Structure 1
Amino acid sequence: MDLKVIYKNARCAVLEIEDGGTYETSRMYRLYLNGKFIRETGNAVTSIYDLKPDTSYQVEARSGEGLVLKSSFTTDSEFVTLNVRDFGAKGDGIQDDTLFIQAAIMACPEKSRVLIPAGTYRIVSLFLKDDVNIELAEGAVLSAYTDRTRFPVFQGMIQSYDEQGEYNLGTWEGNPLPMFTGIINGVNVKGAVIYGQGTIDGNAGDSEGNWWHEPKVIHTACRPRMIFLERCRQVTVQGITVRNSPSWNIHPYFSDHLRFFDLKVLNPKDSPNTDGLDPESCQDVEIAGVYFSLGDDCIAVKSGKIYMGSTYKRPSKDISIRRCCMRDGHGSVTIGSEMAGGVKNLTVKDCMFLHTDRGLRIKTRRGRGKDAVVDGIVFEHIRMDHVMTPFVINCFYFCDPDGHSEYVRTKEALLVDERTPLIKSLCFKDIEAENCHVAAAYMYGLPEQRIERVEMDHVRVTYAASAREGQPAMMDGCSSHICRMGIYANQIEELILTDVKVEGQDGPAIITENIGRVCGSI
């Protein structure tokens, strides 16, 4: 039992309640600040606003059973606040406020705040600045235009003057391609913060300029992200709601020391490519208390396709995801499929997965390359409900123009070469999946380079009474009419099972093929 202050600035603080819960606490709490009641909460990660700079606070979380958790903190100092209204922004939902807000950001000194008060601010693209905090106050909405002609374009790759180097700006699904600038952008920024109780709305479904129409067709450039962070350090995004994104909602790219706390990421279930939060070739990333409900993967950890992976050799690594709720997406937490630089040391803990197609989802394929190594992946204390297939490891993912080629799809062993990816160590511990539909787990490695080790410890899977059939893995040869399958494991070197229970399946609890060693049973 503990109450921690996991983030603070001059105006707000983020609390984390550790009481054995997941995204939600195991009981309700009443929060007190310096002895004054502020509100009730049932969220394990929750924020406190309207604080004063350079001020000491005592915070308590009190349960109805008499449990009292305590912590203390002192807010950061703040030099000045610049109100965007003083720069000409109206927030009336009519005027284009982009220039006025950007002027406030650029004029703001270090360790200061740009305040965006309540109102609807029409914008195109905004750019963050080093060591400046931007507060979206309660009731503030940054409402994006959807007219492509208004948006600048980041070129994919720009050759250096001496023709010996290159500068990458734009990106799309793991390749350096031209893209429209995001709604919020950080490029080579350090120490920026965007926080508050306000909303960023991409308006992607608007009839005037629907970003979701013909999603596979590139019109001038690739669709923008809502928040795009390229080669940034020590950036924090806290509290805000992000909704109706043209494509990926939050896309950190070649960045490190990032924090994402107490966010809401919301898109319609049928919106294309609207991943929630996709760290790509990023390191030292902390994601806590984020609620996702959208049309694609909730979190997808990536590191590019083979050109970016083999050229820059920058994996995504040292990533912590905890106390999040993933709802309605294709995958709750996904690795890949663009993972040519590798993914290492990823921990997912104390999370809820609800009504997603897949829980843990690893998707890769031949052609990602020898640097595409997945290792040190741990999922612990996860609660799933109505997840179609809780565990999917797919080494034959049929993405890209050649996704259905014989090279990608064949189950015959090919030569291991510079194009062959590798999955090493995966651990799934203390996981309960209720009301699943398609399969308890579907794990299929490459015959020429098996998945090295999968460990399942204290895992329980049950099925929905009216389970629906489906395709557990997007790979050729995998039926789309599977229902209530147990654990399917193929091409794994070592499979370790400890206290694993599958209840209510049709057929055997586990099917194993081409397994080097099975330790334990069901």
Structure 2
Amino acid sequence: MTTPTPKILVLTPRTASIELAGTTARDRLDTPLRFVLSADGTTVTDGMLDRPVLTLENLVPDTAYTLAIETAPDLPIATPTEPAFIDITDYDASEAAENNAPAFAAAIAAAPDGATLYVPPGIWRTAPVFLKSRINLWLPEGAIVTGLADRSVYPILDAFTPDGREQASWEGVPANCYASLITAIDADHVTISGKGTLDGAGAESDWWSWPKETRDNARRPRTIFANRCTHFAMAGITVRNSPSWTIHPIDCASLTFADLRIENPPNSPNTDGLNPESSTDVEIVGVRFSVGDDCIAIKAGKIWPDGTVPAPTRNVSVRHCHMERGHGGLVIGSEMSGSVTDVTIENCTMIDTDRGLRIKTRRGRGGKVARIAMRNCLLDGVRTAFVVNAHYFCDPDGKSDAVQNRAPAPVTDKTPHIVDISFTDIEARNVHHALVYVLGLAEAPVTGLTVSDVAVSFAPEAVADVPDMALGLPAMRHAETRFENTTDPQISGITRIAAPRAGQESA
């Protein structure tokens, strides 16, 4: 048996986020472990670790630390040097100010490469803040950066830059959008860390009252938007109250999201938690979600009106996350025209989400969803645990005969393909509608599907309903597995259990 070993996920001069790698614990450890952080043999801080991730702050730059976690090997942590410590209050930021955007802009402009941009504890109201390369934004515990209710202070990002590159996006295609509270474009080595909070002010403005519309020919902002960024990381902070999608990186590479809390009201429209799109090498570790739409939605855009196919999303690892109350736990699509491949979801917990693992697409998307694996996850109170739906009724024509007809259509470059999907070593408690529901295309059946070693119980209070969003689906209650247009699915080891709700002892 492999001994869990701590490893550094995100490191700045002032903060560190650590994963207890190799543990099979889900979002919480079975037994809390004592940890001690020391420097030169002197204890700096200590405590009990009850989750597989840990964020430390108030570190000193250019210092050698040792993190000792009970039963695990010691981890040396050497904080980087800090070329400058930039406090926003030195640039006229004030809790009394109506808009601290000018202070943020001045502080960022003054920051040399590798500097720490420090936001002290307090409530800091601001219009969108634009980050640049090689900067560490530190929000310590008690620091709250909040957006403004007045959308007239939000710049509008044009869909394209003057040289023709995509600058802003809405649901998979270029579109004018309001700038986000934190916006980073063409930036590298950007870190946002600490135990503070970013508040998107969704409830304070009217953003949620026009979810599918525009104002001044622009779509709603996110809370964090990153475009064409590399080595972009977020660790430790809480992100809440988003105007639309909460965190949206697009066309990015080398992304890390560790030990975050992402919180939006359940009735807030389209407030997905974390939506990596057309991005590669993504780690999502120890993130806690409670949102108004999908917790994680992995995307690769839609074919643009001019025929451009977006870049793919590939190499995504999701570990030790807690996903609560969203429409879906881990969702792929429906924007997937550039293809989504090589995604692993392991050691996660999903509570009261409408679906657990959900793959959704439709005719006209093209692209491929391939090599997706979910394993060692607990799903409790989920309506349908595992869904594949190639007749998803999105977009204005989503309910048209061309999308919904179950007869074979001609195979073209706009036919989506779904291959090599596995759902293994799963405990699915209190399922309502179906354990597994797969609806492929007649002209492009789902292939390489594996469901194995799944323990399931069904919710006694369940009311029959459709398992996903497509026309003509039957209402289901306590269904085990249903397949349509699926080639030779490999099904084994499904067992019925009697199980309590999450947080109680197993029966």
Which TM class, normalised by the smaller chain length? over 0.9
Which one of the candidate residues 46, 49, 55 is aligned to 2:63?
55
Superposition map of 1:192-271 within 5 A: 192-206=190-204, 209-220=205-216, 221-271=218-268
1:191 aligns with 2:178: no
SS at match of 1:471: coil
Which residue identity lines up with residue 76 of structure 2 in the other structure? S
SS at match of 1:167: coil
Q: Aligned residue for 1:282?
A: 279
2:5–2:72 contact (8 Å) kept in structure 1? no
2:302–2:310 contact (8 Å) kept in structure 1? no
SS at match of 1:168: coil
2:302–2:335 contact (8 Å) kept in structure 1? yes
- Partners of 2:468 and 2:384 in 1: how far apart? 9
- Partners of 2:231 and 2:354 in 1: how far apart? 33
Q: Aligned residue for 1:472?
A: 467
Which residue identity lines up with residue 132 of structure 2 in the other structure? K
1:403 aligns with 2:398: yes
SS at match of 1:27: coil
Q: Aligned residue for 1:516?
A: none
Q: Deviations over 1:43-71 (max 9, x none)?
A: 11111111111111111223xxxx45532
Which one of the candidate residues 99, 102, 114 is aligned to 1:99?
102
Q: Aligned residue for 2:443?
A: 448
Q: Deviations over 1:140-193 (max 9, x none)?
A: 111101222111111113564xxxxx2211210011111001110110001111
Deviation of 1:482 after TM superposition, in Å, equals 2.1
Which residue identity lines up with residue 453 of structure 1 in the other structure? G
Deviation of 1:503 after TM superposition, in Å, equals 5.5
Which one of the candidate residues 282, 292, 295 is aligned to 1:295?
292
Q: Aligned residue for 2:486?
A: 492
- Partners of 2:464 and 2:122 in 1: how far apart? 46
Deviation of 1:26 after TM superposition, in Å, equals 1.5
Distance 1:321 1:195, change over 3 A: same
- Range that drifts further, 8-17 or 243-252: 8-17
Q: Aligned residue for 2:502?
A: none
1:19–1:26 contact (8 Å) kept in structure 2? no
Which one of the candidate residues 156, 177, 180 is aligned to 2:178?
180
1:23–1:324 contact (8 Å) kept in structure 2? yes
- Range that drifts further, 331-340 or 214-223: 214-223
Q: Deviations over 1:463-512 (max 9, x none)?
A: 12222333211000113x421111111111121123122468xxxxxxxx
Q: Over aligned residue pairs, what C-alpha RMSD do you find?
A: 1.6
Deviation of 1:279 after TM superposition, in Å, equals 0.5
1:84 aligns with 2:115: no
Distance 1:405 1:14, change over 3 A: same
1:5 aligns with 2:3: no
Which one of the candidate residues 344, 349, 353 is aligned to 2:350?
353
- Range that drifts further, 34-43 or 103-112: 34-43
Deviation of 1:332 after TM superposition, in Å, equals 0.3
Which residue identity lines up with residue 188 of structure 1 in the other structure? D
Unaligned runs of 5+ in 2: 499-507
Which residue identity lines up with residue 365 of structure 1 in the other structure? R
1:5–1:73 contact (8 Å) kept in structure 2? no
Unaligned runs of 5+ in 1: 161-165, 505-522
1:422 aligns with 2:417: yes
- Partners of 1:56 and 1:214 in 2: how far apart? 51
Q: Aligned residue for 2:311?
A: 314
Identity fraction in percent: 36
Distance 1:151 1:48, change over 3 A: same
Bigger share in strand = 1
- Partners of 1:309 and 1:342 in 2: how far apart? 18
- Partners of 1:312 and 1:187 in 2: how far apart? 21
Count of residue pairs brought into register by the alignment: 489
Which residue identity lines up with residue 271 of structure 1 in the other structure? S
Distance 1:421 1:407, change over 3 A: same
Q: Aligned residue for 1:511?
A: none
TM-score norm. by structure 2 comes to 0.94
2:57–2:140 contact (8 Å) kept in structure 1? no
SS at match of 1:104: helix
- Partners of 2:342 and 2:333 in 1: how far apart? 14
Q: Aligned residue for 2:505?
A: none
Distance 1:310 1:453, change over 3 A: farther
SS at match of 1:95: coil
Deviation of 1:240 after TM superposition, in Å, equals 0.9
Which residue identity lines up with residue 501 of structure 1 in the other structure? T
2:303–2:310 contact (8 Å) kept in structure 1? no
Which residue identity lines up with residue 185 of structure 1 in the other structure? T
1:362–1:392 contact (8 Å) kept in structure 2? yes
- Partners of 1:464 and 1:85 in 2: how far apart? 54
- Partners of 1:10 and 1:157 in 2: how far apart? 35
Q: Deviations over 1:84-132 (max 9, x none)?
A: 011100124x431111012111210011111100011111100111111
- Range that drifts further, 272-281 or 485-494: 485-494
Which one of the candidate residues 121, 126, 132 is aligned to 1:118?
121
Q: Deviations over 1:216-249 (max 9, x none)?
A: 2212210001000000011111111100000000
SS at match of 2:485: strand
Distance 1:503 1:190, change over 3 A: same
Which one of the candidate residues 344, 368, 378 is aligned to 1:373?
368
- Partners of 2:305 and 2:85 in 1: how far apart? 41
Which residue identity lines up with residue 145 of structure 1 in the other structure? L
Distance 1:105 1:498, change over 3 A: same
SS at match of 1:407: helix
Which residue identity lines up with residue 435 of structure 1 in the other structure? N
- Partners of 1:411 and 1:400 in 2: how far apart? 18
Q: Aligned residue for 2:429?
A: 434
SS at match of 2:107: helix
1:303–1:309 contact (8 Å) kept in structure 2? no
TM-score norm. by structure 1 comes to 0.91
Q: Deviations over 1:411-437 (max 9, x none)?
A: 111111122110011011211111111
1:308–1:341 contact (8 Å) kept in structure 2? no
